[in-house]
């Protein structure tokens, strides 16, 4: 029997068109979805914008949060509900009241210490940080000592009496000149400046000021206000500074900006 001749199949060179058509279809669908997602609904945008403006116009509400209800994936209108939250930031009125209080306290201190201010031994200044009462060590201590002199005690008690009615934090700083200590009770200016600040803190506590409100800091000669190149400038650097901090301060022992 004669063998049947096998017919060879020709290779289909257009098969790639099927895969290419599927790829183009998927790519088209992808861009349609991306376009639909990126479309901005002007009506919903205006509702959101107006609600935010109205929320921040409300008095005594510094924090509001928004909740979207009846949300759908696309196309459906949304209901915007503004729920007022608790007040977080202090109002401007509180800061104004605080500034007024500090100005009044500074004015009272200047009046009670007027004679010492006129002599140049006491200086009262006010800044955003609070009130600084700078006292020369010439009326507070003898050379190389940390015991308060009797004339200084009455002046410090006057200051303490005015501070009893407030709850402000008080940082008391001791400063010296750059002359090294030779002998005596203290090995260096670090110990001397810290002991002088502690003496004032102890007097204030005995005068009725709560110890939790106070801190004693010794800076030795490293916070000068003059150049230390003359007797006058060194005398200016030997001082104790009482920093009465404003109510918005969180810490007592912060670096002085004076």
How confident is the model over 190-248, as pLDDT tens digits?
Answer: 999 999 999 999 999 999 999 999 999 999 999 999 999 999 999 999 999 999 999 75
Q: Is the pLDDT of residue 145 over 80?
A: yes
Q: How large is the average pLDDT for residues 177-190?
A: 92
Going by the DSSP 8-state scheme, the letter that residue 222 receives in this structure is S
Residue 65: count other Cβ atoms within 10 Å of its Cβ: 10
According to the model, what pLDDT value does residue 79 have? 47
C-alpha span between 258 and 250 (Å, rounded): 18
Q: For the full predicted model, state whether its pTM sits above 0.85.
A: no
- Mean of the per-residue pLDDT values for the chain? 80
> In angstroms, what CA-CA distances link 34 with 20, 29, 38?
21, 9, 6
What φ, ψ does residue 217 adopt, rounded to 5°? -130, 135
pLDDT band at 104 (very low <50, low <70, confident <90, very high): very high
Task: Give pLDDT tens digits for 12-63.
Answer: 666 777 788 888 888 888 887 777 776 556 666 666 667 666 655 655 544 4
According to the model, what pLDDT value does residue 44 have? 61
Backbone Cα Rg of the chain:
38
Q: What domains are there in the chain, each with its CATH number?
A: 18-84 (no CATH), 92-245 (3.30.1330.60)
65 and 85 Cβ atoms separated by less than 8 Å:
yes
Task: Provide the strand spans (E) within 144-247.
Answer: 170-175, 214-218, 239-245
Which of 92, 47, 46, 95 minimizes the C-alpha distance to 69? Answer: 47
CA of residue 12 relative to chain centroid, distance:
77
pLDDT band at 10 (very low <50, low <70, confident <90, very high): low
pLDDT band at 68 (very low <50, low <70, confident <90, very high): very low
């Amino acid at each position: 029997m004669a063998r049947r001749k096998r017919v060879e199949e020709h290779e289909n060179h257009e098969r790639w068109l099927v895969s290419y058509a599927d790829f183009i279809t998927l790519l088209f669908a992808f861009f349609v979805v991306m376009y639909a997602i990126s479309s901005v609904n002007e009506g919903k945008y205006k509702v959101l914008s107006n609600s935010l403006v109205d929320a921040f116009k409300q008095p005594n509400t510094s924090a509001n949060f928004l909740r979207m209800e009846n949300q759908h994936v696309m196309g459906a209108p949304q209901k915007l509900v503004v729920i007022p939250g608790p007040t977080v930031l202090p109002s401007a009125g509180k800061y104004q009241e605080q500034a007024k209080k500090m100005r009044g306290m500074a004015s009272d201190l200047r009046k009670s210490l007027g004679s010492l201010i006129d002599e140049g031994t006491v200086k009262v200044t006010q800044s955003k940080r609070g009130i600084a009462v700078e006292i020369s060590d010439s009326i507070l201590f003898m050379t190389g000592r940390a015991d308060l002199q009797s004339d200084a005690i009455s002046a410090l008690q006057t200051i303490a009496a005015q501070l009893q009615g407030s709850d402000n934090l008080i940082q008391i700083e001791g400063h010296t000149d750059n002359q090294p200590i030779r002998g005596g009770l203290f090995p260096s200016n670090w110990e001397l400046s810290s002991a002088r600040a502690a003496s004032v803190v102890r007097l204030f506590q005995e005068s009725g000021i709560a110890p939790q409100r106070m801190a004693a800091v010794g800076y030795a000669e490293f916070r000068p206000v003059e150049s230390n190149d003359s007797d006058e400038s060194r005398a200016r650097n030997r001082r104790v500074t009482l920093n009465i901090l404003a109510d918005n301060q969180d810490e007592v022992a912060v670096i002085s900006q004076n």
